[in-house]
Amino acid sequence: MKINYVVKRTIKLCIFCLFCVQIGLAQNSDQEQIRKIYDVALTKSKSYDWLNYLSNQIGGRLSGSIQAQQAVNYTKAELDSLGLDKVWLQPVMVPKWVRGIPEFAYFETSPGVTTNVPITALGGSVATPPNGVKSEVIEVQGIEELVTLGEAKIKGKIVFYNRPMDPTEINTFSAYSGCVDQRYAGAMEAAKYGAIGIIVRSMNLRLDDYPHTGSMSYGELKESEKIPAAAISTNAAELLSTSLKLNPSIKFYFKQNCKEFPDVESYNVVGEIKGSTHPEEIIVVGGHLDSWDLGDGSHDDGAGCVQSMDVLYILKKIGYKPKRTIRVVLFMNEENGLRGGTEYARVAAENNENHIFGLESDSGGFSPRGFTFDGPDSSFEKIKSWKDLFEPYLIHLFQKGGSGADIGPLKNDKITLAGLRPDSQRYFDHHHAENDTFEHVNKRELELGTATMASLVYLVDKYGLLP
């Protein structure tokens, strides 16, 4: 009985040791592969040169624009040059909204005494009448205030939404979420009370002179009920607010001649490496190729596109042969329609494709801090067990949370969706504004993001997730 016990213990111990050695070897090899990924990313990657081209040779890439088409052609050609197993364009109809000539605005403290202020039409807004609109301004801190004020105080006026982003939020995306309803639904709601236009404080934590555009919706309003909507820079918003306190009868004037055209055809750009043993399991990594028109879209989301392309390039470069199919998707029209993401998921469902994992980079090209995940708990636990492998690269954040707008439509009860989470502090200084430009992207920060994404894709491919 005792001997039996000793034998049993010894066998158990041996099994345990073998198990440890195996885990050790796997960890070692993973450590080495990830080190290789970071080394290649920091010395031989293509992200930064690609982004330079997208930003400086092409520029802002609003859906339906010539630049968006140039970006499709350029990234398709670059993916073609990587020797992937398949590269293709996936057609999708997208909205075509055009800003027209630069907007113009001022406020008038007494007849003839005017102060020009920087504004930008919100994406999707209607134009003002050709001579602009001019009226008294009513400042509010949010949509709910309209109810209290009522039609009597709003009718015929311009509503000025001035609730700032909350500076005490550590994650600036939370501060953005707490404000963006003013931009998205502000015009629709103010129109119901008879406002003739709206001005929204830019979604920017910094006080500066850049107005920030972004998408908006008129909901179910009829064409005749739509009112023009523009964003004003944070500095000008502060100035206007102060001036209104001194003189509530200030008049605001603005003029914009933006226009919505019929939808046009555009494309998602897709490339893949076929999996060697589970080709039917698909891992998607992507960003969105369209951008707003004011800057060159370097952070939003040129960075995410070139990082995603580079994930495939780097995995090839280190000689890794994926077991599963790894696909890069550059989505079209995230900013004002999400048509690319929606179409990609529709086609995937139509073809009965089995997507096990999606990773999007759409939070800027800043120093990566980690990921947030949206998927089954068991998959999240598995991913969390890899966290230590990222420690040497100062990647600490592995949390449940959102992923990315474009991969969102792939959501079901099995897939895990993830978002790269770079440092968020500077993001809204540039987001949707004229200063979202290449010189504000740091090469190493961009490359570290790429390496972090490639490392996670490598681990998901090697060990799999819920099918």
Residue 253 CB, shortest distance to a second copy, in Å, is 32
DSSP state of 435: T
Residue 387 CB, shortest distance to a second copy, in Å, is 11
Does 440 contact a second copy by CB under 8 A?
no
Pick from 37, 39, 47: nearest CA to 304: 47
Q: Residues 196 to 235: which contact a second copy by CB under 8 A?
A: 205-206
By three-state DSSP, how is residue 354 classified?
strand
Count CB-CB contacts under 10 A for residue 118: 20
Gap between the Cα atoms of 266 and 63, Å rounded: 8
For a second copy, the closer of residues 343 and 429 by Cβ is 429
Residue 426 CB, shortest distance to a second copy, in Å, is 5
Pick from 343, 310, 308: nearest CA to 329: 308
Whether 188 contacts 217, CB under 8 Å: yes
For a second copy, the closer of residues 118 and 368 by Cβ is 368
Does 52 contact a second copy by CB under 8 A?
no
Contacts of residue 407, defined as CB under 8 A and 6 or more positions apart, other chains included, come to 284, 286, 341, 358, 359, 360, 417
Residue 166 CB, shortest distance to a second copy, in Å, is 9
How many contiguous H segments (helices) and E segments (strands) does the chain have? 13, 16
Count CB-CB contacts under 10 A for residue 50: 21
| Count of residues near a second copy by CB under 8 A | 27
For a second copy, the closer of residues 39 and 280 by Cβ is 39
Does 434 contact a second copy by CB under 8 A?
no
Of residues 189, 272, 281, 334, which has the active-site annotation?
Answer: 334
Residue 330 CB, shortest distance to a second copy, in Å, is 25
For a second copy, the closer of residues 35 and 192 by Cβ is 35
Region binding a second copy by CB under 8 A among candidate stretches 8-16, 166-174, 298-306, 355-363: 166-174
Whether 82 contacts 311, CB under 8 Å: no
Does 448 contact a second copy by CB under 8 A?
yes
Binding mask 386-405 for a second copy (x = CB under 8 A): ------xxx-xx--------
The encoded tokens of residue 217 equal 């919706």
Does 310 contact a second copy by CB under 8 A?
no
User: Is 334 considered catalytic here?
Assistant: yes
Region binding a second copy by CB under 8 A among candidate stretches 65-73, 237-245, 326-334, 424-432: 424-432
| Position among 181, 443, 464, 466 found at the interface with a second copy (CB under 8 A) | 443
Gap between the Cα atoms of 450 and 304, Å rounded: 9
Q: Residues 339 to 378: which contact a second copy by CB under 8 A?
A: 367, 369
Q: 364: alpha, beta or left, given left = phi > 0 and alpha = psi -120 to 50?
A: left
Region binding a second copy by CB under 8 A among candidate stretches 283-291, 330-338, 403-411, 441-449: 441-449
Pairing of strands 113-116, 324-331: unpaired
Region binding a second copy by CB under 8 A among candidate stretches 35-43, 149-157, 211-219, 321-329: 35-43
For a second copy, the closer of residues 43 and 352 by Cβ is 43
| Position among 9, 19, 25, 39 found at the interface with a second copy (CB under 8 A) | 39
For a second copy, the closer of residues 201 and 421 by Cβ is 421
The encoded tokens of residue 16 equal 């345990």
Region binding a second copy by CB under 8 A among candidate stretches 13-21, 38-46, 142-150, 265-273: 38-46
Binding mask 265-304 for a second copy (x = CB under 8 A): ----------------------------------------
C-alpha separations of 169 from 173, 176, 178, 260, 364 in Å: 8, 9, 10, 36, 18
Pairing of strands 119-121, 229-232: antiparallel
| Position among 34, 37, 38, 188 found at the interface with a second copy (CB under 8 A) | 38
| Position among 261, 412, 442, 467 found at the interface with a second copy (CB under 8 A) | 442
Gap between the Cα atoms of 325 and 154, Å rounded: 56
Pick from 192, 249, 229, 241: nearest CA to 105: 229
| Position among 108, 145, 181, 445 found at the interface with a second copy (CB under 8 A) | 445
∠367-441-299 over CA atoms, to 5°?
A: 90
∠115-116-117 over CA atoms, to 5°?
A: 115
Residue 207 CB, shortest distance to a second copy, in Å, is 9
| Position among 133, 423, 462, 466 found at the interface with a second copy (CB under 8 A) | 423
For a second copy, the closer of residues 172 and 256 by Cβ is 172
DSSP state of 128: P
Each as own residue / partner, the long-range contacts of residues 206-210 (CB below 8 Å, 24 or more positions apart, any chain) are 206/234, 206/428, 206/429, 207/234, 207/235, 207/238, 208/233, 208/234, 208/235, 208/429, 209/118, 209/233, 209/235, 209/236, 210/118, 210/433, 210/434, 210/435
Tell me which residues are annotated as active site.
Answer: 334
Binding site for a second copy (CB under 8 A): 38-39, 42-43, 167-168, 170-172, 205-206, 367, 369, 392-394, 396-397, 423, 425-426, 429, 442-445, 448
